[in-house]
């Protein structure tokens, strides 16, 4: 039995949970909305645009590679190039941990746009990219004999499915965390136990990219 697809889907879910637990992806804003309006409904309402923004950010990164991956004879090179891109961005985040100033200009009320911009700036979609390319390669073992149009349609569906599964895991983890802080833990837990995941995020990007690079180099041309 081939466990590779199951492992890749597990990675999609795990990365979503990881993103959801990261305060930088926005769950403190959902807590803030609930506290300001003194209503759990406001907290739940804030999760909607946060999810939409994150989902769109994933698709914005994956969809261009959907078209590229239809070039069957270049699949291995594309996967290696994408891996190097992820590694490079991870190293950049390790060296430069400053948040883009443009993010500070997006008001908290514009949660969808804020979520999209933060996910792009932090490379959340890039973390999914090697996993997505691996799933496409596994789903099309005889893709060299298929039409490019059919490949594009299949890979578009895969990009959408990967993004949806990832975003669902992300908002589940973030939503549960926001609810626990809002309902039971309170804001003191944020001041005492604030987690800075920037370094671990950057390291995880490098590790994911390095693993994908190793797989791409080892794959048969």
**178-211 pLDDT, tens digit each:** 998 888 776 666 655 555 566 676 777 777 778 7
Which pLDDT score, from 0 to 100, does residue 170 have?
A: 93
Answer yes or no: are the C-beta atoms of 93 and 202 closer than 8 Å.
Answer: yes
* Residues with Cβ within 8 Å of residue 165, at least 6 apart in sequence: 9, 12, 13, 16
Residue 167, pLDDT above cutoff 90: yes
**81-124 pLDDT, tens digit each:** 777 888 887 787 777 766 555 555 565 557 888 788 888 877 77
Separation in Å, CA 216 to CA 11, 35, 141: 17, 48, 14
Query: If pLDDT is split at 50, 70 and 90, which confidence band does 143 have?
Result: very low
Query: If pLDDT is split at 50, 70 and 90, which confidence band does 219 have?
Result: low
The share of the chain scoring above pLDDT 70, in percent, equals: 68
Give the end-to-end CA distance of the chain in Å, rounded to a whole number: 24
* Helix 198-218, helix 124-139: angle, nearest 10: 20
Which pLDDT score, from 0 to 100, does residue 154 have?
A: 57
Q: Which of 87, 60, 65, 70 is nearest to 217 (CA)?
A: 87
Separation in Å, CA 51 to CA 47, 76, 114, 131, 180: 6, 32, 11, 20, 18
Which pLDDT score, from 0 to 100, does residue 2 have?
A: 52
- Which position has the token pair 């309402």? 45
The model's pTM is: 0.76
């Amino acid at each position: 039995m081939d466990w590779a697809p199951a492992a890749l889907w597990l990675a999609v879910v795990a990365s979503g949970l990881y993103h959801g637990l990261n305060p930088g992806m926005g769950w403190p804003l959902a807590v803030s909305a609930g506290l300001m309006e003194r209503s759990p409904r406001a907290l739940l309402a804030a999760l909607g645009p946060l999810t939409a923004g994150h989902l769109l950010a994933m698709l914005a990164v994956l969809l261009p590679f959907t078209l590229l991956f239809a070039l069957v004879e270049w699949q291995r090179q594309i996967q290696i190039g994408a891996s190097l891109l992820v590694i490079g961005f991870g190293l950049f985040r390790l060296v430069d941990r400053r948040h883009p100033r443009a993010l500070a200009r997006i008001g908290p009320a514009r949660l969808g746009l804020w979520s999209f911009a933060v996910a792009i700036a932090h490379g959340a979609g890039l973390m999914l990219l090697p996993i997505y390319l691996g799933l496409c390669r596994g789903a099309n073992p005889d893709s060299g004999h298929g039409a490019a149009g059919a490949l594009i349609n299949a890979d578009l569906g895969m990009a959408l499915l990967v993004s949806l599964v990832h975003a669902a895991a992300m908002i589940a983890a973030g939503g549960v965390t926001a609810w626990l802080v809002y309902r039971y833990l309170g804001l003191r837990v944020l001041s005492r136990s604030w987690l800075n995941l920037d370094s671990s995020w950057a390291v995880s990007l490098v590790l994911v990219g390095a693993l994908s690079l190793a797989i791409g180099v080892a794959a048969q041309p």
